[in-house]
Amino acid sequence: MIPKKLIIAEDTINDIVEESNRHENVETGGLLFGKIIGECIIILKIIHSSTNAKRTHVYFEMDEDFAINITKQMEKNNLAYLGNWHKHLGYGGPSNGDDKQAELFLIQNSHKRNYLSLIIDFYNNDYNLIATNYSFDEDEFIKKDIQIQQIINIQELNKIFKRKKLNIRNFIDNLSKNLEDHTGKTFIHSQSNKSQSYKLFYEEIYDLQNSESKTKNKIVYSVFIKFPYLNISMTDKISIGVTLDHKLTRIVEEIQFSDIFFNIVELLPKLKNIFDKSQYYIKILLHSDNKKENSDFKNRIKIIKVIFRTLKSIYIQYSFKAKAKNVT
Amino acid sequence: MPRDLKYVIEGLENIKNKAAEVVIRRKEEDNMIDIETRKVTIPNIKHFFNDS
């Protein structure tokens, strides 16, 4: 599907204008990162070029090492490289040189389907934004201007994508790679046939030194992230939590899917925290387990008492009837 | 050529061209080594007025 619309926040545009004004009478620019959902390209992060960039009134070149390192870093955080923004000094949209570079980019990066060019063209103290998407349809190189939808802030994305369902298999694969980079632990994927839910989890075996559990010394502690379906909507909730010995579960937090889809960076420290606080969660779960056992025991006693009372009353009634019979 | 070998060669080509990075993991359970190559995007860095 070829993207037809660019979604960009007002703050981001203001940032581009400010950066352009900092470099008077020369071209400048930067890298664009975000997501592509169906026909929409969403800019979630922009990085301006470093001081090492070459800037003239018809030419602009970023520092290669800087650009590659930033792109690696962003892609690790699940933000795709979308393309570049750059400034023109009153000569409109993409030049022949820009078109050639876009084509070269798509040839060199065969895993990318699109390249976005966002040009801010300054003329008479005013500016115009021009968004162009480049792609390949088999061997044909396609260049197309796309509509720009300005939003006030990122939170507005929830409204735009409220009813849209996404297949998140790729997202989960990327998330597990991210988790591994961040926590050093390899998460296991599992899908439930019954409930259609999908889970990423990591298990660790703990020795209980102070004999928290009287029956055994070792306990399996697992941290999980559960998605209700693989076809998820932005407003669906995912849960993160812990499980003890595959049976006692505690949901630590429920998060709206859009919050991690547009920014998984905030999720990673939360999960690391759950690993760091493993002893705390083990204690809580074992305590609730003991409580459960206690209440089960109390219930059993109650039932036995009721049965005993019933039997006693039947016995009394029977013996009373028997006595009455003997009298007659 | 076996398909697995084709992937290995493609991976090495990508590393040579700096278009991939390598992640090496030693699995504790069977002491095997996993080598995974991840595609890296090489961003466009040049903007010029004409293509000459």
Q: What is the pLDDT of residues A259-318, one digit of tens each?
A: 899 888 888 888 989 989 988 888 888 877 666 555 555 666 677 677 777 777 777 777
Which pLDDT belongs to residue A70? 95
Q: How far is B22 from chain A (nearest CA, A)?
A: 13
Mean pLDDT, rounded, for A33-39: 93
Nearest to A60 by CA among A32, A108, A20: A20
For residue B47, give the nearest of A60, A67, A111 by CB distance.
Answer: A60
* pLDDT above 80: residue A253: yes
Task: Evaluate the CA torsion angle A238, A242, A244, A250 in order and state its sign.
Answer: negative
Which pLDDT belongs to residue A297? 54
Bridge partner residues of A126 (DSSP)? A123
Q: Give the residue from chain A lying closest to B28, CA to CA.
A: A186
Determine, for residues B51 and A100 on separate chains, whether the beta-carbon distance falls below 8 Å: yes
* pLDDT above 70: residue B51: no
Which pLDDT belongs to residue A124? 85
At A302, list the tokens.
């109650």
Determine, for residues B41 and A81 on separate chains, whether the beta-carbon distance falls below 8 Å: yes
pLDDT range class, residue B48, cuts 50, 70, 90:
confident
Q: Which amino acid would we find at residue A212? A: E
Q: How far is A11 from chain B (nearest CA, A)?
A: 24
* pLDDT above 70: residue B28: no
Least confident of A35-39, A86-90, A150-154, A197-201: A150-154
* pLDDT above 70: residue A208: yes
Which pLDDT belongs to residue A28? 94
Residue A86: CB partners within 8 Å, gap ≥ 6? A27, A28, A29, A30, A60, A98, A117, A118, A119, A120, B47
The CATH-assigned architecture of domain A5-160 is: 3-Layer(aba) Sandwich (3.40)
Q: How far is B4 from chain A (nearest CA, A)?
A: 19
Q: How far is A278 from chain B (nearest CA, A)?
A: 22
Q: Give the residue from chain B lying closest to A102, CA to CA.
A: B44
> Are A67 and A53 spatial neighbours (Cβ–Cβ below 8 Å)?
no
Which pLDDT belongs to residue A26? 92
When comparing pLDDT for B6 and A187, which is higher? Answer: A187
Residues from chain A that touch B25, judged by Cβ atoms under 8 A, are 186
Residues 1-52, chain B, touching A (beta carbon < 8 A): 18-19, 21, 25, 38-51
Determine, for residues A61 and B25 on separate chains, whether the beta-carbon distance falls below 8 Å: no
Helix (H) or strand (E) holding A140: strand A140-151
Which pLDDT belongs to residue A17? 96
Q: How far is A142 from chain B (nearest CA, A)?
A: 17
Residues from chain A that touch B18, judged by Cβ atoms under 8 A, are 68
Place of tokens 């961040």: A182
pLDDT range class, residue A327, cuts 50, 70, 90:
low
The domain ranges of chain A are 5-160, 165-284
Which pLDDT belongs to residue A255? 93
* pLDDT above 90: residue B30: no
Mean pLDDT, rounded, for A137-154: 92
pLDDT range class, residue A159, cuts 50, 70, 90:
confident
Which pLDDT belongs to residue A293? 53
Q: Give the residue from chain A lying closest to B36, CA to CA.
A: A177
Residue A126's Cβ-side half-sphere holds a number of Cα atoms within 13 Å equal to: 3
Beta-carbon count within 10 A of A96 CB: 12
* pLDDT above 80: residue A234: yes
Residues from chain A that touch B38, judged by Cβ atoms under 8 A, are 177
Can you tell me the distance from the alpha carbon of A216 to that of A156, in angstroms, rounded to the nearest whole number?
51
What CATH number does domain A165-284 carry, 3.30.950, 1.25.40, 3.40.50, 3.90.1150? 3.90.1150
| Residue pLDDT, tens place only, A240-251 | 999 998 888 999
What stretches of A78-123 adopt beta strand conformation (E)?
80-88, 114-123
**Mean residue pLDDT across chain B:** 77
**3-class SS at A109?**
coil
Q: Look up the ipTM and state it.
A: 0.73
pLDDT range class, residue A127, cuts 50, 70, 90:
very high
Determine, for residues B48 and A31 on separate chains, whether the beta-carbon distance falls below 8 Å: no
Bridge partner residues of A199 (DSSP)? A190, A226
Residues from chain A that touch B49, judged by Cβ atoms under 8 A, are 58-59, 91, 95-97
Q: Give the residue from chain A lying closest to B23, CA to CA.
A: A181
**Burial class for B7, CB neighbours closer than 10 Å (0-12, 13-18, 19+):** exposed
Determine, for residues A61 and B47 on separate chains, whether the beta-carbon distance falls below 8 Å: yes
Q: How far is A295 from chain B (nearest CA, A)?
A: 40
Residues from chain A that touch B40, judged by Cβ atoms under 8 A, are 68, 71-72, 75
Mean pLDDT, rounded, for A150-168: 85
Determine, for residues A109 and B19 on separate chains, whether the beta-carbon distance falls below 8 Å: yes
* pLDDT above 60: residue A91: yes
**Mean residue pLDDT across chain A:** 88
For residue B41, give the nearest of A59, A100, A112 by CB distance.
Answer: A112
Which pLDDT belongs to residue A80? 94
Q: Give the residue from chain A lying closest to B44, CA to CA.
A: A105
